[in-house]
Amino acid sequence: MSEPTKTATLTVDGQSYEFPVLSPSAGPDVIDIRKLYGTTGMFTYDPSFTSTASCDSTITYIDGEKGELLHRGYPIDQLASKSHYLEVCYLLLYGALPDAAQLEDFESRVTKHTMVHEQMHRFFTGFRRDAHPMAIMVGVVGAMSAFYHDSTDINDPWQREVASIRLIAKMPTIAAMAYKYTIGQPFVYPRNDLDYASNFLRMCFAVPAEDYQVNPILARAMDRIFTLHADHEQNASTSTVRLASSSGANPFACIAAGIACLWGPAHGGANQACLEMLKEIGTPDRIPEFIARAKDKNDPFRLMGFGHRVYKNFDPRATVMKESADEVLELLGVEDNPILATAKELEKQALADPYFAEKKLFPNVDFYSGVILEAMGFPTSMFTPIFALSRTVGWISQWKEQIEDPGMRIGRPRQLYVGETARDYVDVENR
Ligand code: ACO
């Protein structure tokens, strides 16, 4: 926590109150109003938290005006091009880039935890065959609390560490199993000789009847998708994880809560919704019709994959994702993919439209990710589970940071009550 540098004065009914102003290492100053209620008897009103800093954090910084995303200070484009997912996981979890020995040790620990308890296989079969893989992920990750009792004590740093490694290691296995279950194929066990992304691709696409060779370019693209989604400071699902964790809930329950929040189409579900939208548009000539709908106040339709609460400039992840889309489609020999052509033309026309310019609406990370994932062979229902597995490290890093903060207390927002005031109960026959 930084020391106050100046104060802010609040004047209500002629009475003034002083509040400390804290300066972050980057970003806008914050007014420390923790003593507001005690001093003034008033709350602040900030539904959807558009102006509220809910915690101190050293993990991720976003400058929405500049279109900048830093993990522990390192720009996302450098991490996406020079690093790889497990190294970024180490960076997010422990705060610094690992040296060669630390990286080897970390990768080895993650690799050795990729299998799930054999009894969990039976847990999967309790779901209906047509269940959405996200429904399975919410259930199975929550159920990990019932399988890994020896890493649920949040007050024990060793157990926290084991839970963190287990979650990062097992999430691809669980996501792949959710996929295999819904298509009626046998589960494919992880293999320790493969890297994280190759292992995930193999668990999704291999079948016992046939050998499966992972294409290294696809594995690199997969790894980059994981990296680009690894963390994004206090977004809705991360705030959900932090709020769940503030009550002392175990890590598996907290991450399951994050997965549930991520599922919605305004958040992680946008990649699925975006690809479905691009398919519905179908051909570039129908784009003006959809842009007109997005601008129509009486139509609930929005351009999926466009707009962001924080970015009011290009989402730096979208730029890398667009390059990846070109690379992957070229590799797969589908350069004239109609969905990619529609996406590019939609981006061009929307960016040239004053409505999107004035509201500072740019493509976000989800705009191109679906195009790549579909080209790789994933059905749309797997897009959000892949986001969830990538974001797990971000959730855990934020969870760990919060637990290690000595000032942590249970999260408990207040409200502006606009309902009935006290009134007497009326017996049913007299209503
Ligand atoms: N298409 C059309 N208009 C939009 C869009 C869009 N995609 N996004 C925002 N707007 C308009 C709103 O109608 C609103 O207009 P108004 O001021 O005239 O009422 C204005 O822009 C501001 O929008 P809000 O909804 O107030 O912005 P908010 O910060 O609450 O929402 C959000 C951000 C949810 C991402 C929004 O832009 C959206 O729904 N986008 C589409 C879904 C999406 O792509 N989500 C992924 C987000 S990134 C992620 O989670 C990985």
In a domain, 176, yes or no: yes
CATH number where 314 lies? 1.10.230.10
pLDDT of residue 413: 95
Same domain, residue pair 263 and 275: no
| Structural domain count, the chain | 3
In the 8-state DSSP scheme, what is residue 107? H
Same domain, residue pair 244 and 101: yes
Same domain, residue pair 20 and 138: no
CATH number where 116 lies? 1.10.580.10
| Ligand 1 contacts CB of residue 267 (under 6 A) | yes
> How many whole angstroms from 48 Cα to the centroid of ligand 1?
13
pLDDT of residue 2: 66
Q: Which residues pair with 12 in a beta bridge?
A: 15
- 364 CA closest ligand 1 atom index: 48
Same domain, residue pair 19 and 115: no
> How many whole angstroms from 392 Cα to the centroid of ligand 1?
24
Grouping H, G, I as helix, E, B as strand and the rest as coil, residue 298 is: coil
In a domain, 149, yes or no: yes
- 355 CA closest ligand 1 atom index: 3
In a domain, 321, yes or no: yes
Same domain, residue pair 206 and 100: yes
pLDDT of residue 133: 96
Tell me which residue of 351, 348, 345 sits closest to 285, measured CA to CA: 345
Residue type, position 253, single letter? A
pLDDT of residue 368: 87
pLDDT of residue 269: 86
Tokens of 334: 């589908």
**How many other β-carbons are positioned within 10 Å of the β-carbon of residue 225?**
28
Same domain, residue pair 331 and 392: no
Selecting among 71, 113, 232, 308, the annotated active-site residue is 308
Given a contact cutoff of 8 angstroms between Cβ atoms, the answer to whether 385 and 203 are in contact is: no
Residue type, position 276, single letter? E
What span, in angstroms and rounded, lies between the C-alpha atoms of 363 and 349?
12
Same domain, residue pair 135 and 199: yes
| Ligand 1 contacts CB of residue 306 (under 6 A) | yes
Question: Is 195 noted as a catalytic residue in this protein?
Answer: no
Residue whose CA lies nearest to ligand 1 atom number 24 = 309
Residue whose CA lies nearest to ligand 1 atom number 44 = 305
Which residues fall within 8 angstroms of residue 424, CB to CB, at 6 or more apart? none
In a domain, 79, yes or no: no
| Ligand 1 contacts CB of residue 308 (under 6 A) | yes
The preferred substitution site among 262, 263, 306 for testing ligand 1, maximizing ligand atoms within 8 Å of CB, is 306
Same domain, residue pair 242 and 353: no
- 294 CA closest ligand 1 atom index: 2
What span, in angstroms and rounded, lies between the C-alpha atoms of 340 and 334?
10
Structural domain that includes position 19: 7-53
What span, in angstroms and rounded, lies between the C-alpha atoms of 374 and 382?
9
Question: Is 267 noted as a catalytic residue in this protein?
Answer: no
Given a contact cutoff of 8 angstroms between Cβ atoms, the answer to whether 325 and 316 are in contact is: no
Tokens of 351: 């960016």
Q: At what angle do helices 366-376 and 216-228 cross, to 10 degrees?
A: 150
Same domain, residue pair 300 and 226: no
- 308 CA closest ligand 1 atom index: 35
Same domain, residue pair 236 and 344: no
Q: Which residue has the tokens 């493969």?
A: 194
pLDDT of residue 314: 86
Mean pLDDT, consecutive 10-residue stretches, the chain (431 aa), reads 84 97 95 96 96 96 94 97 97 98 98 95 93 96 94 95 98 98 96 97 96 91 96 97 97 98 91 91 93 95 92 90 86 80 91 94 89 91 96 98 94 96 97 95
What span, in angstroms and rounded, lies between the C-alpha atoms of 384 and 270?
8
Same domain, residue pair 103 and 137: yes
> How many whole angstroms from 308 Cα to the centroid of ligand 1?
6
CATH number where 15 lies? 2.20.28.60
Selecting among 366, 405, 424, 427, the annotated active-site residue is 366
In a domain, 304, yes or no: yes
In a domain, 227, yes or no: yes
Write b or e for each residue in 71-89: b if 16 or more Cβ atoms lie within 10 A of its Cβ, otherwise e.
bbeeebbebbeebbbbbbb
In the 8-state DSSP scheme, what is residue 58? S
What span, in angstroms and rounded, lies between the C-alpha atoms of 237 and 243?
10
In a domain, 62, yes or no: no
| Ligand 1 contacts CB of residue 305 (under 6 A) | yes
- 310 CA closest ligand 1 atom index: 29
> How many whole angstroms from 52 Cα to the centroid of ligand 1?
19
In a domain, 230, yes or no: yes
User: In sequence order, what DSSP letters do the residues of 141-169 get, joined into one string?
Assistant: HHHHHHH-GGG--TT-HHHHHHHHHHHHH
Same domain, residue pair 17 and 107: no
Given a contact cutoff of 8 angstroms between Cβ atoms, the answer to whether 221 and 328 are in contact is: yes
| Ligand 1 contacts CB of residue 363 (under 6 A) | no
Q: Which one of 376, 410, 425 terminates a domain?
A: 376
